[in-house]
Amino acid sequence: MDRNQADTQVNPKCASQKRRDVMTFTPMWQKVMNSLRPCHVWLGIDHRATAGGSFVRPFTLNYAQPSGQSAAVPPYHFDVSLQLNVLPDGRPAVSDRALLMATGTTTSTAGSQTHFDD
């Protein structure tokens, strides 16, 4: 396991300097970047990608796809007295394992879809 530990760190020498990239929009930009030359090179700063103001799609979005999950109306409703969902016959929804398995809210993919920290 330890063999990978060094790999997880991204160029520690530049770590404290990287933050200074936020100065890109200050008049000091050129000076700052020159003083950081080794880091500058390592970071591969390349403004051509956004030059001309044309829209470039964020890289990660190229991998998004329709989830294919339909917003089906669940066959249960919230019981305000019990404070949980019940089936039409009054039994708690959690007593129906098959229903839970089919209900998106308990599955990992549905969680990712509706909640950012599934």
Partner 1 sequence: MTVLILTAEQDVTADMVVAKLHERGVPMVRLDPADLPGKAVLSADYAHGDFDGYLSVNGHVLSMGGLRSVWVRRPGEPAAHAAEPSAWLTAETRQALFGMLYSASTRWMNHPRRAEQARHKPWQLRVAHSSGFAVPPTVITTAPRVAQQFVQEYGDVVVKSASGPPPGEPPAALPTTLVGPDTDFSGVAAGPALLQRYIPKRADIRLTGIGTRLFAARKAAEPGQVDGRFGETGNGWEPTPVPHRIARAVHDYLAFTGLAYAAFDFAEDAEGIWWFLECNQGGQFGFVELETGQPIADEVAVWLAQRRPGLRIPEEH
Binding site for partner 1 (CB under 8 A): 1, 4-5, 7-10, 42-46, 49-50, 55-69, 71, 74, 76, 78, 80-85, 92-94, 97, 100-101, 103, 105-118
DSSP one-letter code for 15: H
Q: Closer to partner 1 by CB, 30 or 60: give it.
A: 60
Task: Produce one character per residue of 61-70: b if its CB has 16 or more CB atoms within 10 Å, e if not.
Answer: eeeeeeeeee
Q: Which residues pair with 92 in a beta bridge?
A: 86
Rounded Cα–Cα distance for residues 19 and 12 (Å):
12
Q: How far is the CB of 81 from partner 1 (least distance, A)?
A: 8
Q: How far is the CB of 23 from partner 1 (least distance, A)?
A: 15
